[in-house]
Chain A
């Protein structure tokens, strides 16, 4: 396998012992040969990419053969925890990283619950899986012990039963002495919109991680044993109190997230008429799904490991439920009703009315669970025409058990429904299913069919790739709400908020708000204070939500903050700029990184780390074939104006958008193809692969607008460099194969015997067209 050669080169650059305080190991697991290698990352990875998402990208870049299919076993699946995961309040998170089978971009998903913290407490910062196991397996980790356990008895189990079976068979309790990252039947069947579950609801959702893990025949990773040390972590402990206080004293945390969770966001989007409805054909939906309508079914809140917020609203539809947590909590919160202050006092007085999904007094396991988040509420409410909170709750619970990403699954169903509405598909294609908007029984049935890839569920399971897999005609792409092949995560229709729109277009994993969301630009406190806003985003940002002016500053700053947050393991909700300007910031992270690792960072250095993380992601995406044209938005948002609300008539102007994107590229340090410009690219290449050769071209070529290409594959001679150049710029193959283009290395023309001309990092290569004449 080629990945074994890459791994051998990589581990030669790694270490046998920790390089800084509290560093965990990287465990490489060859699933085919059932072997393990344990190493530690070089210090420069921490200095330039931190851990978690950033270090995951470093590992992926060094191991991936970009041309391979995402589900090829030689494409690794990488689990990573942040530098501060388990050591700082709300730093509970970890990322999974690979090439996405769902989109055309990187796969990078983030989740919390207990698994990332347990992984780190057992001494591991990263786990890298590759190769296909001969039979279904589970990786069991317990401090120094790593073993592959037969998982065939667990095949066919979904989320809830899987966790129960492991607890039973290993005599342990999830969240006490066991944490489990597992796939469900969806993952086993390589459903492209399936995730990896880390708890009852917690999911590494975006990009098809479940399918990827299933393709390796890994049913689960089990962390076995309670964390050994829960005593105060000196010397972090005093400043952890500062951070904890900062979090819980923030208004939106205290009054909304701790009380009802993210569904509080539904009303502001609804009132603004910016709520993706019926596959974004409309932008407003029923008040029946406002958060207070879930009051009769909310028994309490749950949270991730060592988080002071506990934002996860639980649900219980059964008659015995002890409910009412957070009831009326949002009443009077005017900050939650920016465009219609009167909405803050509106309550619906919703009473419990559920009597079983068939109204027959019968209840089952899907009448209780965790969630929904606002994403699930939006995607399984307005997006598919559902208006009853009880139906949303039940669909949410089914999605959690089936391990489906609610964003991609809901969007995939909404896409199908619009195609059905337009008669682009009929009951002939759906196998007799009536895909009318809001047809609850069919939607519930379709979820189970999707997990099994049964009937029309096989089409939904192909997610955004249904056209290329032959399920829909090409015409269907006109209605696919994706960027880089990934359906939108957030229910928010961003035709109004231009910073939000820019963020969705340039997000490195596809159409996803969690990479750079800038909704604070509609916050009055910020917009009424231009100087404050300028300082917040490092540049002047227009106060008008629908203006294009200066929005690049906001997106850039948010990308940096959030990339650092992911790389230290901090929850997005508690990171400055996502929900509030008052939440922990880069200075806070720097203080605790210093206390834990002994490595000092200035705020500016961490900001640069954030840019580096998005830079390496763009370099990966470039290798996967993505270019500047892929930093765009769905056709609908450019061509169809909003028909209702305070911003009726609004859409995204292509010329204005292109200008805003160009400014974002310039501010970020990207070239015209959206990849790091040459100096930065060369620097990153040295940091990532330890190798960089600058190749100067005689003219700008497709994919190389700067007339320079950086080769960061460790090539040994000029022939190998030519091959690497072709892999890097396949669209320029005609020019690069031109036999009249000679090469000069460090100023010395090579006229023959390229295979014997050695190449070393730092060399300068010039491509020179031969000039005919005499």
Chain B
């Protein structure tokens, strides 16, 4: 599944740089993860980089976007293909 930023977010922005898919952007009050771009770092890292750095632990699995490892890997491949095109 994609990751979700909860309203605990303090908008410190440290999750922006480590996101390998550039899936995170600033929202009105909190930051936002685009579920279409989030692979939970599958294809890039063993653990989700945004979770690893979030100082208030505001990032959790998104219950509305449940995906298996295979589906995340397929999303990663798709994103890589788009990037290469």
Contacts and interface: CB of A to CB of B under 8 A. Distances in A.
Interface string B31-61: 0000000000000011100011111111010
Given A248-B10, A248-B11, A308-B14, A176 B47 contact: yes
A307 to B, nearest CB: 6
A213 B51 CA distance: 33
Nearest to A89: B55
A307 B47 contact: no
A230 interface: yes
B22 to A, nearest CB: 14
Contacts of B47: 176, 226
A232 B8 contact: yes
Task: Report, as a range, how many residues of chain B touch the other chain.
Answer: 10 to 19
Interface of B: 8, 10-12, 14, 17, 45-47, 51-58, 60
B51 A230 contact: yes
Contacts of B12: 244, 247-248, 308-309
A506 B74 CA distance: 62
Interface stretch (A233-241, A608-616, A698-706): A233-241
Interface in A697-729: none
Given A244-B12, A308-B12, A176 B56 contact: no
Interface of A: 89-90, 173, 175-177, 226, 230-233, 237-238, 240-241, 244-245, 247-248, 300-301, 303, 306-310
Contacts of A177: 46
Nearest to A87: B57
Given A300-B17, A308-B12, A241 B56 contact: yes
Given A176-B46, A232-B58, A303-B53, A237 B8 contact: yes
B57 A233 contact: yes
Nearest to A237: B8
Nearest to B7: A241
Contacts of B14: 303, 307-310
A418 B3 CA distance: 58
Nearest to A244: B10
B55 A244 contact: yes
Contacts of B58: 232, 241
Contacts of A245: 10
- Counting from the closest, the 5 A-B pairs by CB-CB distance are A308-B12, A244-B10, A89-B55, A308-B55, A306-B55
B53 A176 contact: no
Nearest to A173: B46
A231 B53 contact: no
B13 to A, nearest CB: 8
Given A89-B55, A232-B57, 14 more contacts: A173-B46, A175-B52, A176-B52, A230-B57, A232-B58, A232-B60, A237-B57, A240-B8, A240-B55, A241-B56, A244-B55, A248-B10, A307-B55, A308-B55
